[in-house]
Every structure is written in structure tokens, then in C-alpha cells.
Amino acid sequence: MAAKQKILIVDDDTNIAELISLYLTKECYETKMVHDGESALKELQYFQPNLILLDLMLPGMDGYQVCREVRTKSQVPIIMLSAKGEVFDKVLGLELGADDYIVKPFDTKELVARVKANLRRCQQMIPMETPKSTDAKIVEYPDLIVNQSNYSVVYQGRNVEMPPKELELLYFLASSPNQVFTREQLLDHIWGYEYIGDTRTVDVHIKRLREKIKDHPRWSLSTVWGIGYKFETR
């Protein structure tokens, strides 16, 4: 029997934390609750979660700081939870490395669906035992190899760490060079139905990709003003 996937719930509201834990336990996940940022960082090492549900408003170290610290140690998926629904708050959370953002109050069914979606993407990062498969999803350019089969990126001869959605976005654009995609098309393909309308998510991930993958004389991640983005080759 496969081991249960582990979810770390970080929320100073014990009622909300227990409610989330109850629903996730029903879905056969193993959960652990902590109520402050320092405890969350300790459990990152000891509990070794497959995903973190991270409240933004925590005593002492807030969710933004926790997210930043986690990202220096791990690429574990992070879903931020917050009563702050402003675009600025969402963008900041995503820029610091969160994979998803849910505004309180939330529907528990939606939360569970988001958890499953993020874990599904993360599971795809595990290399298959048949690396020579003809179905391998790999695109290669000068100084850049993007392999979606084993979720790896090699840039200028070195491996580049990036969360699943960043890699999927890069692969999708690079596999259709010079084709322009609207933000809505990218949202639909990479994030699915639940993100429709939240186009700033795409902008944030493109920004993060550009910080890791600089433009090359032969290719670049280009903005098509008023429309969207393309992987441009020269």
C-alpha cells in the first residue's frame, strides 16, 4: 500500500486548521498542524511534507517570510491561505515562491481540489524508469534543455531548480517557438479552469522564469504587448 502523502497545515486559527485537517484526512492524506512560522520551518525538516498550506497572517514570522525561507531549502508545493484578496497580495505571494493562493473564506471542496492538483503536478517530477522513451517531452535550444518528462531544466550547462508550473510554462512556450499565446490560453493550459480570469498569475511566473533564464542571442521569452507571450527564436 502506498504511503500517504503528507500535508503541513500552518494556521494560527486552530478552528480553521482542524477543519482543513478533517477534510484532508477524509481524502486519505496525513496531516500535521502548526500555528506559527518557526514551527513550520522545523516541521519542514522533521515532517517532510509533500505540500504546505500556509496562512499569510501568522504571529511573529508571517507567511511571506516563511515562504521565502522554505524556498531556500525546498521546492515543496506551497498554497497560501489569506483573507487578503487584493491583487498585490496574491502577486507578492507568487513572487516569493508560492504555487497557489486561496482567499478566505474558501470552499473546502475547492481547497481539496487545489491540493490534489498541486500534488499531481509535483508527482510528475519523479523521473520515470524508462528515460529513453520515445514519448519523452524534451525541447532543446542553444544553452537550454527543458525536459518535462523528468522535470529538469539545464541552462548554460547547469541544472536550474524551478517549481512544476514554471517548468510547464517554459516547456509549453518553448515547444511552440514563435507562436503567440494569450494569457488566457496559458492559464487554461497550465493552471486549468480554476484560474480563469486571474491573468496576473501568468505575468508573475514569466517574471520568475526571466530571473532564472536570461535572454539568449538565439532565443528569448518575449512579451507581445496587449496579447501575451511567445518563445522567440532568431
pLDDT digits (tens, 9 = 90+) for 76-129: 899 988 877 666 677 777 777 888 888 888 888 888 988 988 888 766 554 443
Per-residue model confidence (pLDDT) at position 134: 42
| C-alpha cell belonging to residue 114 | 487545489
CB 230 within 8 A of CB 173: yes
Q: What is the dihedral of CA 163, 145, 157, 221, to 10 degrees?
A: -70
Per-residue model confidence (pLDDT) at position 118: 84
| C-alpha cell belonging to residue 71 | 524556498
CB 8 within 8 A of CB 115: no
Per-residue model confidence (pLDDT) at position 3: 74
CB 144 within 8 A of CB 158: no
Per-residue model confidence (pLDDT) at position 133: 40
Nearest residue to 92 via CA among 64, 113, 127: 64
CB 66 within 8 A of CB 58: yes
Per-residue model confidence (pLDDT) at position 196: 47
Per DSSP, 216 falls in state: B
Asked whether the bond before 77 is cis by omega within 30 degrees of 0, the reply is no
Per-residue model confidence (pLDDT) at position 124: 56
Per-residue model confidence (pLDDT) at position 22: 93
CB 163 within 8 A of CB 74: no
Calpha distance 192→168 (Å, rounded):
12
Per-residue model confidence (pLDDT) at position 106: 84
Calpha distance 36→41 (Å, rounded):
9
7, containing H or E segment: strand 6-10
| C-alpha cell belonging to residue 207 | 517574471
Work out the angle between the directed axes of helices 108-123 and 164-174 (0-180°, nearest 10): 60
| Domains with residue ranges and CATH for the chain | 6-123 (3.40.50.2300), 138-233 (1.10.10.10)
State which residues of the chain have pLDDT below 70: 1-2, 85-88, 122-136, 192-199
CB 2 within 8 A of CB 29: no
Per-residue model confidence (pLDDT) at position 88: 67
Per-residue model confidence (pLDDT) at position 40: 93
Calpha distance 157→227 (Å, rounded):
33
Per-residue model confidence (pLDDT) at position 108: 85
Per-residue model confidence (pLDDT) at position 127: 44
pTM value surpassing 0.75: no
